Structure 1
Amino acid sequence: ISIDWEDVAYIRTGRVMSVLLDGGEVILGRLTTESGKLLVGGEPVEFPQVVGIASASPREFDLWTADISVGLNFRSGNVEQKDLNTKVSLKRRTVKNNTKMSYTGNYSESESEQLANNHTASLSHDYRISHKWFFRPIQAEYYRDPFQNREAEWTVGFGAGYQIFDSPKLDWTVSAGPGYQRTEYVDVVEGEDRTVSTGAFLIGTFYDQDITDNIELEVDYQVTLTEAKAGRAKHDFYVALDVDLTSRLDLRLAGTWKRIESPQPDSDGITPEKDDFTATLGLALEI
């Protein structure tokens, strides 16, 4: 059952919750509200002091959520083609920490010839400092796309972020920080290094909004700035529109855009296209 926050008149939690207060103090207790005031374990707490609320359950399973989406396309007859698009997101949230892991894969084959085969795996961990600010001690990504002349690309970094909006229907954050990138090319022009290591600067934003009770919009964008020999700038943009079919199953229309400002030519002097676009229609399961 989903209830709009503005329609809630009274709260009583059935389990012990962990409450982070402004200043870093964490208190435990069941939550209740009386006459517009919050009580934690029977003790009054001012609403403006509350930075975050999460489950204090000792079960690790209660701290995790998962989102799995799959898109499939098969053609036969005059054209034999198959396409597979997969995205898996895992999130672990406590009152102070927020860990995200994701995997995205796209594979396409026609007449036994590969048309696409790219994979992206990412990890980030955020530590809440205050109502608006958080510290990101680790951010990492693995990327592989032979059609972009990327055999393997590793990016690691750290930084800080700011919560622009944090409401029941809108979540919007921005983050930035320095990093390091190591790129291994599939093939390069004679005399060029096949492996390039360089410093990087990462800038990203995440936007999640409930447009209606049944429709949700998610936007995730990150740009990685590096030296020209590593691509100069890599843009990763993801947008998804989810329509509720059941309480856990959504119909998802998603699109991705990847752009490398300075692609590395191969040994034949052929330079990959800067932009790659993907659009998928599939099902998403929330756990």
Structure 2
Amino acid sequence: MTRNTAFASALAAVTLFALPTSALADIPDPVRAMIDAAIAGGDETKIRTVIELARETNPDDAAEIDAILANYEADLAVAAKAAEAEKIEAIRNAGIFENWSGKGELGGFRSTGNTSNTGVTAILSMKREGIDWTHKINARADYQENEGVANRERFLASYEPNYNVSDRLFIFGLAQYERDRFQGISSRYAVSGGLGYQIIDQPSLKLSAKAGPAFRVTDFVDGRSESQIAALFGVDFDWDITDRLTLTHDTNAVAEAGGAATVIIDSSNTSIDLVTGLNAKISNSLTARLSYAYEYDSNPPPGAVGTDTLSRVTLIYGF
């Protein structure tokens, strides 16, 4: 006997024995057997359908049948509450390397701006959701060679912990590293923290924004180095247009697209990173993605332009 079958049988027994004997006696044996079998099967939709049919075909026993349904729903609520408590306890006791989910992307791109070529791109995103904390890790690499010489080489990695103050308000932290030699940046480090708010939080539409102070250190390829106090603004937008077409970064729909923007402003240079995309789900774990990235620096090093665009075509594997 499986665990689910045992649970269904126990639920059926609790439901029936909780009823007054007089209630069970009034219901015809075939009808009672039909309801018993449905409850033992554990399919809630089927159970409700059978009970509704029993009520329609036996109107004189409607009160007794309603009593069976009420007891079943009460036991269902108790079981759901116990399952939720068990889930929360498992999350609280999970180790640091447990409960992570993520996705990996691999594909090609075409760039314009400082370079106008095609190449390869790889992206890794991981997320761990707890009771109050959410941890996000992202890494991205774009690389290309032309006749054996690299003409695009950009790496970006970030770690963002979020603490939920309420259902909508959260505190965030952010540590970010990037390298783009063809933009004149040998390495750039940024740390930030502040407040975020879930402006819209509906099943099909989500919009959040965050803002806070930041500190940024930039090492240029010409040997110069700058340290600046900055401000960070971020926006994340997800919209399920239909069951099969969704504007989001994380969905099970057949197609999706997404948009997220991060702006870092300091006294000498403003950086904007904007990404949108269109995803087509191939299977439960494999998705094809077409995305467009806009990268802007208001004060690029000598010899570099301020705007880069990048169109990517990738395959995403979720795990």
Question: What is the DSSP-based 3-state SS (H/G/I as helix, E as strand, rest coil) of the residue aligned with 1:262?
Answer: coil
In the alignment, which residue of structure 2 is the partner of 1:56? Answer: 90
Q: 1:262 to 1:249 in 2, by over 3 A?
A: same
Residue 228 of structure 2 aligns with an amino acid whose one-letter code is T
1:216 maps to which of 256, 274, 298: 256
Are residue 252 (structure 1) and residue 292 (structure 2) matched?
no
Does structure 2 retain, via aligned residues, the 8 Å contact 1:245–1:251? yes
Question: What is the DSSP-based 3-state SS (H/G/I as helix, E as strand, rest coil) of the residue aligned with 1:273?
Answer: coil
Provide the C-alpha distance between the structure 1 equivalents of 2:194 and 2:294, rounded to a whole number of angstroms.
24
Does structure 2 retain, via aligned residues, the 8 Å contact 1:54–1:93? no
Are residue 242 (structure 1) and residue 287 (structure 2) matched?
no
Provide the C-alpha distance between the structure 1 equivalents of 2:183 and 2:131, rounded to a whole number of angstroms.
40
Once the 2 structures are TM-superposed, how far is the Cα of residue 140 of structure 1 from its aligned partner?
1.1
In the alignment, which residue of structure 1 is the partner of 2:309? Answer: 277
2:153 maps to which of 98, 117, 130: 117
- Percent identity of equivalent pairs: 25
CA RMSD, 1 decimal: 2.7
Question: What is the DSSP-based 3-state SS (H/G/I as helix, E as strand, rest coil) of the residue aligned with 1:56?
Answer: helix
Once the 2 structures are TM-superposed, how far is the Cα of residue 113 of structure 1 from its aligned partner?
2.0
Residue 249 of structure 1 aligns with an amino acid whose one-letter code is L
In the alignment, which residue of structure 2 is the partner of 1:158? Answer: 193
Q: How many residues align?
A: 228
Deviation digits for residues 22-65 of structure 1 (CA, Å, limit 9, x no counterpart): xxxxxxxxxxx948x9668658x9xxxxxxx9683444465211
2:219 maps to which of 166, 177, 184: 184
Are residue 205 (structure 1) and residue 229 (structure 2) matched?
no
Length-normalised TM-score, structure 1: 0.72
Once the 2 structures are TM-superposed, how far is the Cα of residue 165 of structure 1 from its aligned partner?
2.3
Are residue 172 (structure 1) and residue 212 (structure 2) matched?
no
- Pairing 1:39-78 to 2, within 5 Å after superposition: 42=81, 56-57=90-91, 58-60=93-95, 63-72=99-108
Q: 1:183 to 1:128 in 2, by over 3 A?
A: same
Please, which runs of 5 or more residues in structure 1 have no aligned partner?
A: 1-8, 11-32, 46-52, 74-80, 189-193
In the alignment, which residue of structure 2 is the partner of 1:101? Answer: 137
In the alignment, which residue of structure 1 is the partner of 2:300? Answer: 263
| Bigger mean CA deviation after superposition, 119-128 or 53-62 | 53-62
Q: 1:34 to 1:203 in 2, by over 3 A?
A: farther
Are residue 286 (structure 1) and residue 314 (structure 2) matched?
no
Provide the C-alpha distance between the structure 1 equivalents of 2:284 and 2:291, rounded to a whole number of angstroms.
20
Q: 1:92 to 1:106 in 2, by over 3 A?
A: same
Deviation digits for residues 144-192 of structure 1 (CA, Å, limit 9, x no counterpart): 001111000000011000002223333321000001000000016xxxx
Does structure 2 retain, via aligned residues, the 8 Å contact 1:140–1:156? yes
Larger radius of gyration: 2
Question: What is the DSSP-based 3-state SS (H/G/I as helix, E as strand, rest coil) of the residue aligned with 1:242?
Answer: strand
Residue 280 of structure 1 aligns with an amino acid whose one-letter code is R
Provide the C-alpha distance between the structure 1 equivalents of 2:215 and 2:276, rounded to a whole number of angstroms.
26
Q: 1:112 to 1:92 in 2, by over 3 A?
A: same
In the alignment, which residue of structure 1 is the partner of 2:180? Answer: 145
Does structure 2 retain, via aligned residues, the 8 Å contact 1:55–1:63? no
Q: 1:246 to 1:273 in 2, by over 3 A?
A: same
The structure in which a higher percent of residues are strand is 1
Provide the C-alpha distance between the structure 2 equivalents of 1:140 and 1:62, rounded to a whole number of angstroms.
22
Please, which runs of 5 or more residues in structure 2 have no aligned partner?
A: 1-43, 46-71, 110-116, 245-252
The structure in which a higher percent of residues are helix is 2
Length-normalised TM-score, structure 2: 0.65
